[in-house]
Structure 1
Amino acid sequence: MAACSNNVEIRIIDTRKGKGLFAQMSLKEGDVIFEEQPVVSTQFLWNEMYKYLACEYCLQSLETAEEMSRRLTQNPALVLPYQQCCEARPSEYVVCPDCQVVYCSEKCLQFALSSYHRVLCMGSSKNDPEHPLSRLQEAWRNIHYPPETASIMLLIKMVAIVKQAKNKEEAIQLFSQFAKATVNEEEQIVHKLLGAEFKDQLEMLRQISVEAFFEDSVQQWFTPEGFQSFFALIGTNGQGIGTSSIGVWARNCDALELPEEEKAELDKFIDKLYDDLDRVTGTFLNSEGSGLYKLQSACNHSCVPNAEIRFPYNNHILALVALKDIAPEEEICISYLDECERERSRHSRQKYLRENYLFSCTCEKCLAQAEDPDITSEEEEEEEMEQMEEEGEDQ
């Protein structure tokens, strides 16, 4: 047993699947199974460069919903109704006095300073492109293009946490709980993150990291083999985090008690807003990042999940919510696929999971569809189109 909370327990399943998360009590559909703060989290570097303002510690979106909407729709005249539904509080924001990095509150600034930011604070060198941290971030952006699925800053923050810790062994133990891949899997994971030239790119990132952040107590992390393992760890365990002032505003608008006609007008406005956001910005709606979570990282995948991850507070605090009733001792599974991907053919789902997560799914849905033809959903659609064309010709 690796970890336990009141509602769940992490157990070792077998050498193939590794850990799993199991219910300790009866859970009802809609129950919050647990809420969890990450061991470490960071905003994606491309999102930061694209001016998504987020608290450096908790990733809370710092723009007001109107500011964010204007920027993402490229419509500076846009005015949002019901602005009281926006929860952004600019008057509470604070900055690091040395490097001017922004935090949503004094509390988050102090959390960052006490855990890692004293090591990472760039002071007056924040905009110096030759500073090692600037070089590392620029190297990462040149290697890992959007949409990002990981960040070099997770690694650097982990090192900084150890460097700044009074009890370094205790700090190192924070990260030992996360799943480790085999050497062959590590190469596949890093290759997926960095592309065809991953070995050269990984070595470049390693050398810059050694130059700026070497730490004796974790010197094994900085060897070529250790850095690859370290990198694969975040690729295996990293959980995407999405925060959005617009999302919070829209959710609060939806909860308003309004006359029917006024409600219909508001719904129409929000639908158009999201259409405009999708047209102009596409997938870059949220201020996104990544984090390592102790309990969440033990959740295995199912194409018919009984739980899902949410971020209810517009920051990095994760909630695991039951999608159906869950019995004691039942494994709690989430889906690594989005809702649309789960509706694709078994072959498409398996292909995606093998390419991105290095396993073949054996959930009840995949087992029930085991005799289905080994064709992707795209191939199925092409066959249907060809069949429709042939039927049209026959007529």
Structure 2
Amino acid sequence: MEHVEIRVDKLKGRSLFAVKDFKKGDILFEETPLVCSQFEWNALYKYLACDHCMKSLENAEDMSRRLAANPSLVLPFPQCCKVKKEEHTVCPHCKVLYCSDGCRDSAWHLYHRVLCQGASVADPNHPTEKLKDAWRNMHYPPETSSIMLIARMIALVKQCDKKDQILSKFAEFCKSTVNEEEHIAHKLLGKEFQEQLEILRSLVCEAFYDEHVQQWFTPEGFRSLFALIGTNGQGVGTSSLSVWVHNCDALELSDEERQTLDAFIDQLYVDIEKESGTFLNCEGSGLYTFQSACNHSCQPNAEVTFPHNNFTLQMVAVQDIKAGEEICISYLDECDRERSRHSRQKALRENYLFNCNCSLCQSQIDDPDVTSEEEEEEDEEQMQEDS
């Protein structure tokens, strides 16, 4: 990445800085993950995605029919869907789906030889399937991570000729203290996290043990690995439907045609929400070297986008950025960023284990500690659960 650099500070850890000036809207960098995996519930519910790059494999019409539970639905302007089913392929051994020969070959070269079960129908007694089933029973939707990220990390090391090189890349991700690791595991797995974490560790050992990373299979090492993906994982979402909508927006239409199309799309999303809620995309998570070095700000100067409908991430400037300036993103969604300083700090402490000292939080330091009614209700529900 020639225009950005990672710097390491003893107190702050890893941070990302610009080495040239950027204008608002500029692409700072583009990167693919070291590892990426679709969420297990997402896959179980037939959100078809390339097993390597996460590209949505359903065309927009098929995706709309499934999400809206309307098998006779017909989308106008089918040319706006860019899914190329004729290019889709499978692993010849286990029949895992890929968007192209290129993704299939890349997966086989990087990690899939280790993960391939060699059967077209998954054996529920296979160690990998038992691991996936255990994870789904511990981590219900909405998922925020996947145990298969750990499996792919191990598989990468197993298949890599230069094992020290790939291990050093994983070592670059930010680490947590023991207390923080336990908090992260508790957040992901709930009250029974210690017992559940040990179950997952045993299943991972059964399926993938390797002496080159034997430290990852100890209770302490596995907890650290689990915290690493919980702390550094970046959500990935792909949708052939959203691509179709975006391309429809770019069509040159008469005013009447535009109004008709917009009304159709609005109604489609209403129908989908009734049937599927907001669970629209093929979703997963990945580990990205440069993105993971971006610290949080409640007034970020950059944001993460996925413009290619796959796991390729772009970091885009949302403000002008000067050379030497730190690149910051928001760990909070847009709705949460509009909340009070107190509410933002509460969310960041609970989910990311730090107090924010960004310029916005500093400017609001004397504001009253105001918590929304919604958060108070959540606190009451949590107190009832804990009691």
For normalisation by structure 1, the TM-score amounts to 0.93
Matched, 1:334 2:337: no
Amino acid at match of 2:241: I
Q: Give the drift of 1:379.
A: 6.8
1:370 corresponds, among 365, 370, 374, to 365
Amino acid at match of 2:73: L
Cα displacement string for residues 295-322 of structure 1 (whole angstroms, at most 9, x for unaligned residues) = 0000011111111100000000000001
Pair 1:246–1:33, CA change in 2 (3 A): same
Quote the residue 2:385 is aligned against: none
3-state SS of paired residue (1:150): coil
Quote the residue 2:244 is aligned against: 249
3-state SS of paired residue (2:314): strand
Cα displacement string for residues 348-390 of structure 1 (whole angstroms, at most 9, x for unaligned residues) = 11111111000111111111111122121227999xxxxxxxx
Matched, 1:264 2:265: no
Amino acid at match of 1:290: S
3-state SS of paired residue (1:123): coil
2:55 corresponds, among 60, 71, 87, to 60
1:94 corresponds, among 86, 89, 108, to 89
Quote the residue 1:191 is aligned against: 186
Quote the residue 1:6 is aligned against: 2
Q: Retained in 2: the 8 A contact 1:178–1:297?
A: yes
Cα distance in 2 for residues equivalent to 1:174 and 1:379? 41
Instruction: Give aligned pairs, total.
Output: 377
Cα distance in 2 for residues equivalent to 1:359 and 1:381? 21
Q: Structure 1 stretch 366-375 or stretch 187-196: which is displaced more?
A: 366-375
1:286 corresponds, among 250, 259, 281, to 281
1:298 corresponds, among 293, 304, 309, to 293
Quote the residue 1:236 is aligned against: 231
3-state SS of paired residue (1:180): coil
2:163 corresponds, among 151, 164, 168, to 168
Pair 1:186–1:380, CA change in 2 (3 A): closer
Quote the residue 2:384 is aligned against: none
3-state SS of paired residue (1:309): strand
- Structure 1 segment 152-231 matched on structure 2, within 5 A: 152-231=147-226
Q: Give the drift of 1:126.
A: 4.2
Matched, 1:43 2:28: no
3-state SS of paired residue (2:9): strand
Q: How big is the alpha-carbon RMSD for the aligned residues of Structure 1 and Structure 2?
A: 1.4
Cα distance in 1 for residues equivalent to 2:149 and 2:38? 9
Q: Gapped runs of 5+ residues in structure 2?
A: 378-387
Quote the residue 2:382 is aligned against: none
Cα distance in 2 for residues equivalent to 1:243 and 1:125? 25
1:137 corresponds, among 112, 132, 136, to 132
Amino acid at match of 1:185: E
Quote the residue 2:383 is aligned against: none
Cα distance in 2 for residues equivalent to 1:119 and 1:310? 31
Amino acid at match of 1:89: K
3-state SS of paired residue (2:222): helix
Q: Give the drift of 1:12.
A: 1.7
Amino acid at match of 2:3: N
Quote the residue 1:81 is aligned against: 76
Q: Percent identity?
A: 62
3-state SS of paired residue (1:118): helix
Q: Flag as ranges the 4+ runs of structure 1 deviating above 4 A.
A: 379-382
Q: Retained in 1: the 8 A contact 2:68–2:275?
A: yes
Quote the residue 1:31 is aligned against: 26
Q: Retained in 2: the 8 A contact 1:125–1:131?
A: no
3-state SS of paired residue (1:55): coil
1:310 corresponds, among 305, 309, 317, to 305
Q: Gapped runs of 5+ residues in structure 1?
A: 383-395
Q: Retained in 2: the 8 A contact 1:239–1:290?
A: yes
Quote the residue 1:345 is aligned against: 340
Q: Retained in 1: the 8 A contact 2:95–2:120?
A: no
For normalisation by structure 2, the TM-score amounts to 0.95
3-state SS of paired residue (1:124): coil
Amino acid at match of 2:176: A
3-state SS of paired residue (1:247): helix
3-state SS of paired residue (1:319): strand
Cα distance in 1 for residues equivalent to 2:39 and 2:255? 41
Amino acid at match of 2:52: Y
